[in-house]
Amino acid sequence: MAKRNLSTLTEFILEGFTGHPELAVPLFIVFLSSYLVTLLGNVGMIILIQVDAQLHTPMYFFLSHLAFLDACFASVITPQILATLATDKLVISYGHCAAQFFFFTVCAGTECYLLSVMAYDRFVAISNPLRYNMIMTPGTCRVLLAVAYICGVSGAILRTTCTFTLSFCGDNQINFFFCDLPPLLKLACSSMTQTEIVILFFAKFMFLANVMIILISYMLIIRAILRVESAGGRAKAFSTCTSHLTTVVLFFGTLAFMYQRSNSDKSSEEDKIVSVFYTVIIPMLNPLIYTLRNKDVKAAFRKVIGKFQFPRNIAFSKGPSL
């Protein structure tokens, strides 16, 4: 088959779930429901943190931005999934594909760095509780957050530029439901170019660097927890990390399965299932993880709900008798 350079392409065809047309309607309902739950949960988390003064701490400052990234993550990908389910095969322009890949990479990369920042925040809170507010000042939190966003955006610019300057072989059909790196690389020429090496090296470096930061933070956290004399104190200290640790395991575990495997071990169906998990399921689960396992968030939620409840035992005055 003759090779075509990417610059000559004007559109891509997303095949989505064409192998299972009978599941189109049920999957559409499931993805639409999960998207609405994701938006409600993450936007609700942001509003809750903003309106409750007790949640104005570094931990919840970072958590509000994690919720923002999850809402953006889902909004970049899920509408595309719904469109592919509704139309069987979806034709998108070259620019649309590049833009979606860029914003998807921004959200994924920034979330990786933000989870590392949150691990450092938990380390400071547990190892230096008396100096926590002196170390994690509002200015420090804003700088750490800015670093996470700058690293995420700069990495997305590099990966998008490198990806969309590749030479592609064959047709423009993508056996996927959005413009992700693995299916795009499958359309590229088989020989490993310098551009592809840069993409894969940067992806692995970003992943391993953040994993190392989180692992070192939790090793120091565990050492600090073991120094606590009482069992109740150790349990309380570790309980502040369980929600973050759960999110880290889910997010980085699926990213490792998706991007750290060799090409010979990959299949399109497995990639679709895994990508659905980290682009749709995890953004929906994160608000539930932080709500169900966090007493402060549950207390703030009950407080907000209580303000909107109809007062009980209201004495109504009798109207004039007729």
The CA distance from 286 to 288, in Å, is 5
> Is 35 within the bounds of a domain?
yes
Please work out, in degrees rounded to the nearest 5, the angle formed at the alpha carbon of residue 249 by the alpha carbons of 247 and 251: 65
> Is 182 within the bounds of a domain?
yes
> Is 318 within the bounds of a domain?
no
> Is 25 within the bounds of a domain?
yes
> Is 313 within the bounds of a domain?
no
The CA distance from 98 to 313, in Å, is 60
pLDDT for 262 equals: 55
Q: What is the CATH number of the domain that holds 299?
A: 1.20.1070.10
Report the range out of 37-51, 170-184, 288-302 with the highest average pLDDT.
Answer: 37-51
- With left for phi above 0 and alpha for psi between -120 and 50, is residue 176 left, alpha or beta? beta
CB count in 10 Å sphere of residue 306: 8
pLDDT for 321 equals: 39
> Is 314 within the bounds of a domain?
no
Range of the domain at 281: 3-304
pLDDT at 34 over 60: yes
pLDDT for 152 equals: 94
pLDDT for 261 equals: 61
pLDDT at 314 over 50: no
Which pTM value belongs to this model?
Answer: 0.85
Reported as a pLDDT band with limits 50, 70 and 90, residue 67 is: very high
pLDDT for 142 equals: 96
Q: Which two tokens stand for residue 15?
A: 């095949």
319 or 189, which is more confident:
189
Q: Which two tokens stand for residue 114?
A: 């933000």
In Å, what is the CA distance from 100 to each residue of 61, 77, 93, 258, 289?
27, 8, 11, 18, 27
Reported as a pLDDT band with limits 50, 70 and 90, residue 319 is: very low
> Is 160 within the bounds of a domain?
yes
User: Helix axis angle, 94-127 relative to 138-163, nearest 10°?
Assistant: 150
The number of distinct structural domains making up the chain is 1
> Is 311 within the bounds of a domain?
no
